[in-house]
Structure 1
Amino acid sequence: MRIIIVGCGKVGRTLTEQLSDENHDVTVVDTNPQVVQDVTNNFDVMGVVGNGASYLVQMDAGVEDADLLISVTASDELNLLCCLFAKKAGNCKTIARVRNPLYSHEVNFIKKELGLSMIINPEYAAATEIARILRFPSAIKIDTFAKGRVELMKSIIDQNSPLCGESLSNVAKKIKADVLVCAVERGKDVVIPNGDFVFEENDVISIVASPTEARDFFKQTGVETHQVKNALIVGGGTIAYYLAEQLLNMGIRVKIIEKDYKRCETLSELLPSAMIIHGDAANQDVLFEEGIEHCEAFVSLTGIDEENIFLSLFAQQSSKAKIITKINRITFDEIINNFHLGSLIYPKYITSEYILQYIRAMQNSLGSNIETLYRIIENKVEALEFHIGEDVMIPDETLENLPIKKNILIAAINHNGKTIRPNGHSKIHAGDNVIVVTTLKGLQDIDDIFEK
């Protein structure tokens, strides 16, 4: 596909890297010549220097022949204007990043009136992911499929876990819960386990199950399954606002520490049920005064990655709280993972997942749309949800008789609203939602899981 990306910030650069890896014809547009040169030097893409909202600049970028324009500049209004021009100049699909809470209740109106294909709000998406984790704090990541009927949860095996030293086949016999362990991270290695796989301390397991079965599984392995009662948030930016709003609606008490006094006043007006504290959380006395030792969740959301990391390390040392750390820029993933900072939230990756999901759905031609896409282990493992349309020709065979490629696992089938953990005798029917976990990249259609 021919794709134009306007804006080469964190999200734009991440999208450029992932879309060029998937062999799309990408052109980037930015007003900063050095940024454009840096991106074109590092990735196999074309670059245009200029204002993406200019008709002439869009023509230089090839908007007339483009299939999709994605605008992710720092300005919501500029993103909307870029998309509006692209619709008129090239009649291509358009995606805009819109972040301001002012527009959060007007998204559907804006999308309809401007003819946008998609509006993405990275801060709201990140806040939703954090809220989902705090509902089940023993997990370090939770993704949902089939409109919430199926969950994919990641959790770390500690030294006291009954899973330690047990093979997957033995675990299946001892623990009566209908779950599927679909991936295990051990250091740098990622394994899609078979029955002989033996779990070890510090393994990160990913399981697929219905919410009820997932809770049964964790209860039987001695893991707490209740949501937190209170949360201490450091940093009062847009993510903090969206997160506090969701947590308050869940009945969770919220305290926000913010060092900018005017922002504190704004948050007090927007969130009358939350406690807003004017102070610098980099001062440990402030954290102790605000009860870090007794909080059940600690979320570091400042604009500086290094500060978030140090705050989370301090919270880890000072409390038993569930730790969530926002990372924007730092790319030293191996070092960060060694710190064991709890759940890591990367807004730029969350945004790119949503957009990649839309792009792959655009590409498919067989009627089995990608409903959901998650990169569950960096760029090593993907989990995809396919909706099987009525016109899709799936052989009337059991899974054991289908020519499914290696490194592909059928993790779950949602059939008539019921979640099925498939075995060799299961079948795929029209109308089903099929969840696939794979180390292969670029799957666009359910047909791609089969050997040709």
Structure 2
Amino acid sequence: MGCGRVGASLAEQLEDSGHSVAVVDQNPDAFRRLPADFGGRRVTALGFDRDALTQAGIEEAHAFAAVSNGDNSNIIAARVAREVFGVGNVVARIYDPRRAEVYSRLGIPTVATVRWTADQVLRRMMPMGAFSEYQDPSSAVSLVRCDVNPGWVGEEIERIESAARARVAYLTRHGKGRVPERRAVVQENDTVHLMVPTDRIGAVQRILERAPGPEAEED
């Protein structure tokens, strides 16, 4: 729902990946952003209108993304998709980060556009310690990107996991993500992404910002 720049790009990527896609937008001119060879459905209507969603094929949908430029429209559409039509995979774009946190606790995954953009810019300007990249809907588990002391270079993934009591989800090396074996070693300039309990993010960062050794591990 929503055929702005994000919605059009998302629709194109999904179709290029072999998925069937339907796009709903109340402005027919918005569909001009879609590629000329876009083969999916175009439905001109409010994105939370039940008849329009039915026309778009929501009863057979695997996932629904509400990415219009209005927080209220996005969250209403997301709730209709989940609560009325039973779509299991629903996400809503939200500009107000305070609202995003509320809706995440209600079980509706959100992307808080303004906060995410600001965090990404700051992260590229200076080291900032642990940076949360994703939280599960209950906010109990987070995927975080951590600043790692250079002393960890050459250490095995297994040792990082043991010291931090966290799981290394993947590494970014030379701009490309990779899932490492537990006996693989950290290389210079690697970025380490870990799955951790949200309430332990600070503790994990404190461990990894120090060089490895007995004092770097938790009791």
1:267–1:276 contact (8 Å) kept in structure 2: no
Structure 2 CA distance for aligned equivalents of residues 261 and 394 of structure 1: 54
1:247 is aligned with what amino acid? L
Structure 1 CA distance for aligned equivalents of residues 120 and 103 of structure 2: 24
1:259–1:280 contact (8 Å) kept in structure 2: yes
1:313 is aligned with what amino acid? R
Q: Kindly provide the CA deviation profile for residues 7-48 of structure 1, in whole angstroms up to 9, marking residues without a partner as x.
A: xxxxxxxxxxxxxxxxxxxxxxxxxxxxxxxxxxxxxxxxxx
1:383 is aligned with what amino acid? V
Structure 2 CA distance for aligned equivalents of residues 445 and 358 of structure 1: 22
Structure 2 CA distance for aligned equivalents of residues 248 and 281 of structure 1: 20
1:258–1:278 contact (8 Å) kept in structure 2: yes
* Number of matched pairs: 197
1:278 is aligned with what amino acid? T
Structure 1 CA distance for aligned equivalents of residues 159 and 205 of structure 2: 21
TM-score, reference length from structure 2: 0.66
- Shift in Å at residue 429 of structure 1? 5.3
Distance 1:236 1:449, change over 3 A: farther
- Shift in Å at residue 441 of structure 1? 8.3
SS at match of 1:281: coil
1:242 is aligned with what amino acid? S
Aligned to 1:306: 72
Larger Rg: 1
Distance 1:448 1:347, change over 3 A: farther
Aligned to 1:358: 124
TM-score, reference length from structure 1: 0.36
1:296 and 2:62 correspond: yes
The residue correspondences of 1:7-406 to structure 2 (distance < 5 A) are 234-264=1-31, 266-268=32-34, 270=36, 272-321=38-87, 322-329=89-96, 331-333=98-100, 335-341=102-108, 343-361=109-127, 373-377=131-135, 383-384=144-145, 392-394=150-152
1:411 and 2:173 correspond: no
Aligned to 1:142: none
Task: Structure 2 unaligned segments of length 5 or more: list them.
Answer: none
1:301–1:325 contact (8 Å) kept in structure 2: yes
SS at match of 1:419: coil
Task: Structure 1 unaligned segments of length 5 or more: list them.
Answer: 1-233, 364-369
Structure 1 CA distance for aligned equivalents of residues 157 and 13 of structure 2: 40
- Shift in Å at residue 431 of structure 1? 4.5
Structure 2 CA distance for aligned equivalents of residues 304 and 338 of structure 1: 20
How many percent of aligned residue pairs carry the same amino acid? Answer: 15
SS at match of 2:202: coil
Q: 2:181 aligns with which of 420, 428, 433?
A: 420
